[in-house]
Structure 1
Amino acid sequence: MLKGTVAAIVLAAASALPVFAQDAMMSAKCDKASMMKMEANMDAMKDPAMKTKKEMASKEMMMAKDSMKANKMEECKMHMEKAMKSMSNM
């Protein structure tokens, strides 16, 4: 009985991993709502020690906005991902 339960848990966890990976990939959407959320997250960062990383994220967001205006969505996503990475390294 225990082996069956453990096997079911392992199988469920293995099938859930691609879903989590897909959610992470989709988090860098190039749309107004995602940009507003990212900017709110950057504005919430008040620690002076993180100033350089916040500036890097801000620059990437500016480039993402410019790319979105130019209708270059793949480039916009790339800049959004870079901004998220620089913020997550904080």
Structure 2
Amino acid sequence: MLKITIAAAVLASAFALPAFAEDTMMAKCDDASMMSANSKIDAMSDGSHKKMAMKEMMMAQSSMKEHKMKNCSMHMDKAMKSMGAM
């Protein structure tokens, strides 16, 4: 009985940890984060990366207006990766 309980706990934690890690990697989707990211994008000198980051930020802002926070965070992450921040 004890072995089954321990096995169940290990199995449950194996499924919970990846979900927790994914949430912690997502960018925060709020006005302050948006303004900070936009100012960093404006300061970029690499044109192709800047264009990609701006595109992702526009999609993030659109998602935020539609209250689709998971999509907003995903686009913010992509924008930050385009900037080389992550």
Q: Same fold (TM over 0.5)?
A: yes
Which residue in 2 is equivalent to 1:7? none
Aligned to 2:63: 67
Q: Percent identity?
A: 59
Instruction: State the alpha-carbon separation in 2 of the partners of residues 83 and 77 from structure 1.
Output: 10
After the TM superposition, list the runs of 4 or more consecutive aligned residues in structure 1 that deviate by more than 3 angstroms. none
- In the superposition, the TM-score normalised over structure 2's length comes to 0.68
Amino acid at match of 1:42: I
Q: Which runs of 5+ in 2 are unaligned?
A: 1-20
Give secondary structure in 2 for the equivalent of 1:40. helix
Question: Which one of the candidate residues 46, 50, 53 is aligned to 1:54?
Answer: 50
- Correspondence for 1:40: 39
Give 5+ residue unaligned stretches, structure 1.
1-20
The letter for the 2-side match of 1:25 is: M
Amino acid aligned to 1:37: S
Aligned-partner Cα distance in 2 for 1:52–1:69: 26
Which one of the candidate residues 72, 78, 81 is aligned to 2:77?
A: 81
